Amino acid sequence: MYIPTFQDMLDAHDRIKPYIHRTPVLTSSYFNELTGAELFFKCENFQKAGAFKVRGASNAVFGLSDEDAAKGVCTHSSGNHALSLSYAAGRRGIPCNVVMPRTAPEAKKAAVRGYGGIITECEPSTTNREEVFAQVQAATGGDFVHPYNDPRVIAGQGTCSREFLEQMAQEQGGGLDMMVAPIGGGGMISGTCLTLSHLAPDIKIIASEPEQADDAYRSFKAGHIIADDAPVTIADGLKVPLKERTWHFVSNHVSEILTASEQEIIDAMKLTWQRMKLVMEPSCAVPLATILKNKELFAGKRVGVIVTGGNVDLDMLPWMLS
Amino acid sequence: MYIPTFQDMLDAHDRIKPYIHRTPVLTSSYFNELTGAELFFKCENFQKAGAFKVRGASNAVFGLSDEDAAKGVCTHSSGNHALSLSYAAGRRGIPCNVVMPRTAPEAKKAAVRGYGGIITECEPSTTNREEVFAQVQAATGGDFVHPYNDPRVIAGQGTCSREFLEQMAQEQGGGLDMMVAPIGGGGMISGTCLTLSHLAPDIKIIASEPEQADDAYRSFKAGHIIADDAPVTIADGLKVPLKERTWHFVSNHVSEILTASEQEIIDAMKLTWQRMKLVMEPSCAVPLATILKNKELFAGKRVGVIVTGGNVDLDMLPWMLS
C-alpha cells in the first residue's frame, strides 16, 4: 500500500495551481465571542467546483500520462468528488464517468453534467455503489480515481493545509493551535495530517463527524476500521467509511474525533449563513457544530476550520424541511 | 446645503478603520464567462453588521463631540442603516433609536435589537415613516443620522470605493472600466461618485434599480427628483427616494441607471448563492441582474460590482415563496 509523502503533496501543489483557487481565510468576531476561541475559516466553499475535492481530483487527472488520460477517468462519489473530477477532466479535455447515488442533491447532479461528467445512478448504499461502479469501469476502461483512498487524492487535499499555514503567517499574524475538519472517508483529514505532520507537528488535528454517521469515531475508539453500509445524515458528504490509506493517517495523526447531532449541524449551518454570509453545505457545518458543543476544548486557542464546500440545493434547505 | 468633499472621505476612512472590515474582492470565472466581462465583487456582505452602511453610520457616530454623543443618535431605515447605526452606537456606548417599517425582515429587527438599538415601528410608507420619526426624535433629542442624505454618511460610504481601488491595484493587476452599485436613496452611489470623481474619473459609474421602484431612473431621465411613496419590491433596501444631496452626485457623476424586474433580481440572487457561495440580500443582486440583462454594455470591460449586504431572512427566501 503506497502512502503519499510530503514531496507528493508539494508536487501536487505545483501541478494543480493553474486549476484551483487560493481560497481566502475569513474570521468572525461573532463566532470568536460565541466560542471564546480565535477561529480562522479556510473557505474551500469558494474553491473551483465549490469544494476542496478539486485539489485531489486535479492532481490525479493532471498526473496521468497522455496515453492513460486518453481513456478518461471514472469514480463513484456522493457528490463533490464527482463534480471536481468532472471539472478537472473537462479542463484536460478527457471523458469522466461517475456513479452517484440517486438520492444525491439535484444541484450536484446538474453541476456534474454542467462540467461534462456522465452520470450512472446507484442505490444509496456502499455495496450497491461499488457494484454499479465495477460495471461502469469495465465498460469504459477509465482510470479509477477513488474519492479519498487514493494517494494522488490525499496528496492533493494536503495542499489546502499548506496554503492555510502560509496565509496564517502572511495575513493572520501567526500559526494555529488546532485544525478542525469534517471526516467522512477521510481524504481531507488525511491530507491535513500529511501536511501538518511535516510543517507544523504541534498543531492538534481534530476530526468532526455526524453522530448518525459516526463510523470514524467508533473506528478511532476501537483501533480498527468499522464501516457502516448506509448511514442517514443531512451531511451527505460524510456518509462513506474510512479505507486503509485514510485509516493510516487518522490512526497515526488525529488527536480526537468529535460528533454532532443532526439538529446541531443544521443550527451551525444556518448560523454561519446568517452571521458569516457564507453558503456552506451541511457536511462542512459539522466542525463548527462540534466546536460550539465543546467550547472548553477550544477556548483561548487559535483554531483553523476548513470550510469544505458550498454545494447545497437551495430549494431543499434543511431548516425549510423540518 | 453642504456637499461632502474628498477630504471628508479621507477623514472618514481614518475615523472608521477600527470599526469596519476591509472586505475582500472576489471573482467568479462562471460569471465572467456568462457575461463576457471581467467582474470584481467587493463583498460588503462580509462587512460589520452585514452591509456597507456601517461605514457611513460609524463616521457619523464617531465624529460627534462627547457632548452631542451623550444624547445618542436616531434614524429611520428600512433595515441595514438601522443595524449599522445600532452597531456603531453600541461601539461608542451611546443610545440609538430607530424607526423601522413593521414589514422589515424579522432578521433585521432581531439584529438591531441584538446590537442594542431601540425600535419604534411605522407603516411602510415614506410619509408615515417621517411622521413617526419626528415624534421619536422630539422625545429623545438624539442626533439624527439620515440613512443617506447626510454628508457624514455619504463620506463614509465613499471609503468603500477607495478600498476597492486599492485592492484592484494591489491584488487584481489594474483598475476598472466601470463600477456598478444598487441605488435606493443613493448613499452608496453618492459615496462612489465622491471618491471616483477624484481618484479615477474615467471609471463609468452605473446605478442599478428595481423596475418596481425605479424612481431614480425616472428622476435621472426627467432631470429632477421624482419620489414614490411606497414602492413594492423584493429589494427592500431600495425603496426610498433620492434626496437633494444624493441627487447632486447622481445628476453630476452617474453615467446610466439600469433596471431589472423582480424575477430577474431573484434569479441573479439565487445564481450568486449557487455559484459564488455568497449570502447576499435581494437589493444587492440588482447590479448583477442588470449586468446579465445588458451584457453588451459590459462585455470586454473590467467591472467593479459592490455587493452591498447580506442581511436576509433565511426562513423567507424569495425562491421559496413563489
What domains sit in chain A, N to C, each tagged with a CATH number? 6-52+150-321 (3.40.50.1100), 54-144 (3.40.50.1100)
**Measured between CB atoms, does B24 come within 8 Å of chain A?**
yes
Confidence band, pLDDT 50/70/90 cuts, at residue A255: very high
Instruction: Work out the minimum CA distance from A292 to partner chain B, whole angstroms.
Output: 20
Which amino acid, residue B27?
T
With CB atoms and an 8 Å threshold, state whether A278 touches B280. no
With CB atoms and an 8 Å threshold, state whether A273 touches B314. yes
Percent of chain B with pLDDT over 90: 87
Decide if B53 contacts B25 (C-beta within 8 A): no
Percent of chain A with pLDDT over 70: 99
Q: Report pLDDT for A322.
A: 57
pLDDT over 80 (residue B171): yes
Catalogue the E-assigned strands of B102-260. 118-122, 143-144, 178-182, 204-210, 256-260
**Measured between CB atoms, does A198 come within 8 Å of chain B?**
no
Q: Which of B24, B46, B320 sits opposite A320 (nearest CB)?
A: B320
> Which range (A153-157, A207-211, B123-127, B283-287) has the least confidence?
B123-127
pLDDT over 60 (residue B154): yes
pLDDT over 90 (residue A320): no
CB atoms under 10 Å from CB of A101, counted, come to: 22
Q: Report pLDDT for A303.
A: 98
A-B C-beta contacts closer than 8 Å: 50
Instruction: Return d(Cα B144, Cα B160) in angstroms, integer.
Output: 23
Considering A111-120, B101-110, B187-196, B221-230, the range whose residues carry the highest mean pLDDT is B187-196
Contacts 24+ apart (CB under 8 A), B261-269: B261/B210, B261/B211, B261/B212, B262/B210, B262/B211, B262/B212, B262/B233, B262/B234, B264/B289, B264/B292, B264/B293, B265/B210, B265/B233, B265/B234, B265/B235, B265/B289, B266/B234, B266/B318, B266/B319, B266/B322, B268/B292, B269/B318
Mutate to test the interface with A, among B29, B277, B316 (most CBs of A within 10 A): B277
Residue of B nearest to A110 (CA): B274
Instruction: Return d(Cα A9, Cα A6) in angstroms, integer.
Output: 5
Residue with cell 428622476: B219
Q: Report pLDDT for B118.
A: 96
pLDDT of B11-36, one tens digit each?
999 999 999 999 999 999 999 999 99
pLDDT over 60 (residue B322): no
pLDDT of A197-222, one tens digit each?
999 999 999 999 999 999 999 999 99
pLDDT of A221-245, one tens digit each?
999 999 987 789 999 889 889 999 9
pLDDT over 90 (residue B150): yes
List chain A residues with CB under 8 Å of B170: none
Percent of chain A with pLDDT over 90: 87
| Mean pLDDT, rounded, for B94-119 | 90
pLDDT of B264-273, one tens digit each?
999 999 999 9
With CB atoms and an 8 Å threshold, state whether B279 touches A273. yes
Q: Which of A46, A48, A279 sits opposite B273 (nearest CB)?
A: A279
> What's the mean pLDDT when you consider all of chain A?
95
**Measured between CB atoms, does A36 come within 8 Å of chain B?**
no
Q: Which of B46, B314, B317 sits opposite A274 (nearest CB)?
A: B314
**Measured between CB atoms, does B49 come within 8 Å of chain A?**
no
Q: Which of B26, B280, B319 sits opposite A314 (nearest CB)?
A: B319
List chain B residues with CB under 8 Å of A278: 277-279
Q: What are phi and psi of B115, to 5 degrees?
A: -85, 0
List chain A residues with CB under 8 Å of B320: 315, 320
Q: Which of A26, A107, A310 sits opposite B46 (nearest CB)?
A: A26
With CB atoms and an 8 Å threshold, state whether B274 touches A26. no
> Which range (A215-219, A311-315, A317-321, B14-18) has the least confidence?
A317-321
pLDDT over 60 (residue B205): yes
pLDDT over 60 (residue B228): yes
Confidence band, pLDDT 50/70/90 cuts, at residue A315: confident
